[in-house]
Structure 1
Amino acid sequence: MNTVIAIVIILGALIFFHELGHLLLAKRAGILCREFAIGFGPKIFAFKKGETVYTIRLLPLGGFVRMAGEDPEGIELKPGQRIGLIFNEKNEAVKLIVNHKDKYPVQKMITVEKADLDHDLFVEGYEDQDAPLVRYSVKEDAVYVADHQEMQIAPYDRQFGSKTIMQRVLAIFAGPLANFLLAFVILVAFSLMQGIPSNESRLGELAKGEAAQKAGLQENDKIVSVEGQNVSSWKELVTVIQDNPGETLSFNVVRSGEPKKVDVKLGEREGADGKPEGFIGAHPYTEFSILGSLEYGAKQTWFMTKAIFTGIGQLVTGQHGIDQLSGPLGIYDYTDKAAKAGVYMLLQWAAILSINLGIFNLLPLPALDGGRLLFLGFEALRGKPVDPQKEGLVHFIGFAFLMLLMLVVTWNDIHKIFLS
């Protein structure tokens, strides 16, 4: 149950901040954002604030911000339609009711002759067969009502396509950027809680019952030399220890300004290469500093980003196979292990997931943010947008490919977790 809660919190936060990035930059550009959704499928919770409906949906596999003009919206007034109108005190139409008018106390009924809800914002028509043509202004945030469903109209200057290429690029790129910023904040918080590992040859927390504690070494001891070999950094100290598994070595230390000599019988374990390596059960010394934590957060975010891009490069070049990828089951399994290891490991795992989500969305694949940025790049080069129907078809094919990839990586997860 703890793992489920951890996954809900972590994935919910990653998706929330990703979509929040899209929402904030889209609103800043003046784009009408119809919905901010966490998850896909049927709505299980919704409320409206301002122009935007905020929803939580059944399938927690992502989210979206529905911006006006990105997809066909079905708002259209055709000649010959009989519609009801409701006006404000300035005699501007604020509601246009296409059918089921009995729900509303309409003030006028007209048969549409001509309408423009994109640019000039008006509707013309006849109240009855023999009446003269009348024209009414439509308020820029008027509501279109059809089948009891209300939708705010979106004049062209509130639509996604009306904005400059740079404004649209920023609105799309803001989602992945939010994930990188979230990872940075998580890592800064981690270092403020846990401390920043120092590269000094100084001992931090000691593991109970392991070689360092048994020999009498103490936290904050500075190791000057081992078996007469000078060590000035944590890396040098670790190298000497790992090279002498099971041996008893003489440590020259400085404790509270006083030199001491301590003999330590090293532990022995299997290293990453399968060969035995020595260890003493000591963590590096940690320091607490706000500026240091900011630097640590930035460096670790950059390090993790480079490592993930390296992995993608190895996947593309064939150095690693697709079986190395993980999907929802793999994320669950890793989160379970991180949750059992404690809150600090869980924070680091959340940062890694956030960077992964940001990078994955920037890949130049249809249906992802990177694919949309690619189409905007084509538009910038061509001087005109790609045909919306063709772009929509490409994104649909890309989405189908991603679903197929999801099935493949899920099978990988099943094989690695349950069948291996």
Structure 2
Amino acid sequence: MQMVQVVFLSILVFFVIVTIHEWGHFIFAKRAGILVREFAIGFGPKVFSHTHGETRYTLRLLPVGGFVRMAGEDPEVVDIQPGQTIAVRLKDNQVTKLYLDQLDLRKQVIRGEVESIDIEHELSVTLDVEGELTTYSIHPQAMMVVKGQDIQIAPYNRQFGSKSVGKRAMAIFAGPLMNFILAFILFGVYIQLAGMPVENPSYVKIGEVTDKMPAAKAGLVKGDVINNVNGIAIGGDRERLIKMIENSEGKPMNWSILRDGNPLNVTLTPVSMAGQKGGKVGIAPILPTRTASFGETIHYAGNAMVTMTKNIFEGFRQLIFGQFKLDDLGGPVRTFEVTGQFAKQGIDQLTLWTAILSLYLGIFNLLPIPALDGSRLVFLGIESVRGKPIDPNRESMVHFIGFAMLMLLMLAVTYNDILRLVKG
């Protein structure tokens, strides 16, 4: 049952931080008047799809991100050319549907050969219907129907490229911005859940107990208050407890604890752990806490944002200058693994980890790497300076190459993660 809960919480963490990121893109694109064709979580084949309003919401198979597809960002997939035979359906003297195939099956339509058509600016189509040319006005939200799919047309004023540089930049930057806001909120929630250390604590208690370690084998549980060890009162001296455990590797220790107000004596023997100094018993000793005030919560959240941002950039620095091994990188597999470990430690630790992941996702997406938000902002910055956009085909090629390289790196890291798990 616990495993099912851990898996569910791990998936929920991924879903929350990716959804809030894409929601940022989505909401600011809509505010700018851009037609959003798809709001997707994940990549690859569709698992779930639902259309509401102008947007199709999809859940895709591969949990490695998400995207918001805005009209005009990429070449439109359907193009109608003069000389092509189509069928149109009218409502209030405007074309509301353009049928591109299976024309013989369409009912209550006008069928003809396209003489001219403009679905971006003029919103009109001229058809040759049995030798007579007739021009029809096209509704701004008309649908093209092809291969059983309805695709809404995108007039130029609904396309990404028609908006000012500022509006486009905001639609792109809003994704990372929402991750920063989420991280700040979650850091605040964490300190509310974990509490602030009290001044002059009078006792140390057990926060977490690691399975199969001496503490767990001796029956210690989360919440036990440690009175004395080997007859020495611990009080609120957490560092003394840790030092005593480290110095007692391989030596039995007599612990006197309080559980729900009842005294209990146990004997346990600290063991060594690879790569760690001294003996370990498998507990996280914590001090008593109090509820954080509103001011303390804001202060802690701000400090946590600054500290973790420095740590993240230090990681990037080591990556750039080659001070890392492949094992130091982690893909979706390791992220889910670590998320599961935090989920086992309680909702407070999972909240802290989710805040860190959200902050990392926001910062990573702002790096000037092709296919990421940072690269798109660089192209917009260049456009702002030179007064005209870079050739969309060239920009699309840069993003495509960048995306392909990221996917190759992701595959290599994921393969290494799986190999590491198999080898234990």
Q: Same fold (TM over 0.5)?
A: yes
Distance in 1 between the 2:274 and 2:186 partners? 28
Offset of 1:35 from its aligned partner?
0.8
Distance 1:195 1:272, change over 3 A: farther
Offset of 1:142 from its aligned partner?
0.8
Gaps of 5+ in 2: 207-219, 249-268
User: Which digits, 9 at most, give the CA deviation of each residue in 1:27-66, with x for residues without a partner?
Assistant: 1111000111111222222111111111112222221111
2:227 to 213, 219, 223: 213
When the two structures are superposed, what TM-score results if normalisation uses the length of structure 2? 0.80
User: Which digits, 9 at most, give the CA deviation of each residue in 1:168-209, with x for residues without a partner?
Assistant: 1111111112122222222222222221345x3435652369
1:17: which partner in 2?
20
**Secondary structure of the residue that 2:338 maps to in structure 1?**
helix
User: Which digits, 9 at most, give the CA deviation of each residue in 1:192-249, with x for residues without a partner?
Assistant: 2221345x34356523699952279999x7x7xxxxxxxxxxxxx77788778759xx
C-alpha contact 2:43 2:64 (8 A) present in aligned 1:
yes
1:112-151 superposed matches below 5 A: 112-129=114-131, 131=132, 133-151=133-151
1:123-202 superposed matches below 5 A: 123-129=125-131, 131=132, 133-197=133-197, 200-202=199-201
C-alpha contact 2:24 2:175 (8 A) present in aligned 1:
yes
- 2:304 aligned with 1:300, yes or no? yes
Offset of 1:289 from its aligned partner?
3.5
Give the residue type in structure 1 aligned to 2:362.
G
Offset of 1:304 from its aligned partner?
1.5
2:37: which partner in 1?
34
When the two structures are superposed, what TM-score results if normalisation uses the length of structure 1? 0.81
C-alpha contact 1:204 1:286 (8 A) present in aligned 2:
no
**Secondary structure of the residue that 2:15 maps to in structure 1?**
helix
User: Which digits, 9 at most, give the CA deviation of each residue in 1:341-376, with x for residues without a partner?
Assistant: 222222222222222222222221111112212222
Give the residue type in structure 2 aligned to 1:35.
E
User: Which digits, 9 at most, give the CA deviation of each residue in 1:310-349, with x for residues without a partner?
Assistant: 1111221233344311112211321232122222222222
Percentage of matched positions with identical amino acids: 43
**Secondary structure of the residue that 2:67 maps to in structure 1?**
strand
2:335: which partner in 1?
331
Distance 1:159 1:211, change over 3 A: closer
Distance 1:41 1:275, change over 3 A: closer
1:12-411 superposed matches below 5 A: 12-89=15-92, 91-129=93-131, 131=132, 133-197=133-197, 200-203=199-202, 206-207=205-206, 212-214=226-228, 275-276=277-278, 282-291=285-294, 292-411=296-415
**Secondary structure of the residue that 1:214 maps to in structure 2?**
strand
Give the residue type in structure 2 aligned to 1:136.
Y
What is the CA RMSD across the aligned residues, in angstroms?
3.1
Gaps of 5+ in 1: 224-236, 248-266
Distance in 1 between the 2:404 and 2:192 partners? 43
**Secondary structure of the residue that 1:12 maps to in structure 2?**
helix
User: Which digits, 9 at most, give the CA deviation of each residue in 1:246-287, with x for residues without a partner?
Assistant: 59xxxxxxxxxxxxxxxxxxx999899955599997524423
Distance in 2 between the 1:157 and 1:204 partners? 66
Distance 1:402 1:282, change over 3 A: closer
Distance in 2 between the 1:78 and 1:329 partners? 47
**Secondary structure of the residue that 2:369 maps to in structure 1?**
coil
Offset of 1:100 from its aligned partner?
1.6
Distance in 1 between the 2:117 and 2:167 partners? 29
C-alpha contact 2:100 2:146 (8 A) present in aligned 1:
yes
C-alpha contact 2:179 2:359 (8 A) present in aligned 1:
yes
Offset of 1:156 from its aligned partner?
0.4
Give the residue type in structure 2 aligned to 1:30.
G
**Secondary structure of the residue that 2:227 maps to in structure 1?**
helix
C-alpha contact 2:203 2:227 (8 A) present in aligned 1:
no
C-alpha contact 1:144 1:150 (8 A) present in aligned 2:
yes
Runs of 4+ in structure 1 deviating by more than 6 angstroms, as ranges, are 208-211, 215-219, 237-245, 267-273, 277-281
**Secondary structure of the residue that 1:113 maps to in structure 2?**
strand
C-alpha contact 2:203 2:225 (8 A) present in aligned 1:
no
C-alpha contact 2:116 2:126 (8 A) present in aligned 1:
yes
Give the residue type in structure 2 aligned to 1:36.
F
1:255: which partner in 2?
none
**Secondary structure of the residue that 1:213 maps to in structure 2?**
strand
Distance in 2 between the 1:204 and 1:20 partners? 45
Distance 1:166 1:137, change over 3 A: same
Distance in 1 between the 2:109 and 2:90 partners? 7
Distance in 1 between the 2:138 and 2:356 partners? 49
Aligned residues: 382
Distance 1:270 1:165, change over 3 A: farther
Distance 1:281 1:45, change over 3 A: closer
C-alpha contact 1:93 1:137 (8 A) present in aligned 2:
yes
**Secondary structure of the residue that 2:58 maps to in structure 1?**
strand
Tell me whether 365-374 or 321-330 shows the greater mean CA deviation.
Answer: 321-330
Distance in 2 between the 1:212 and 1:246 partners? 18
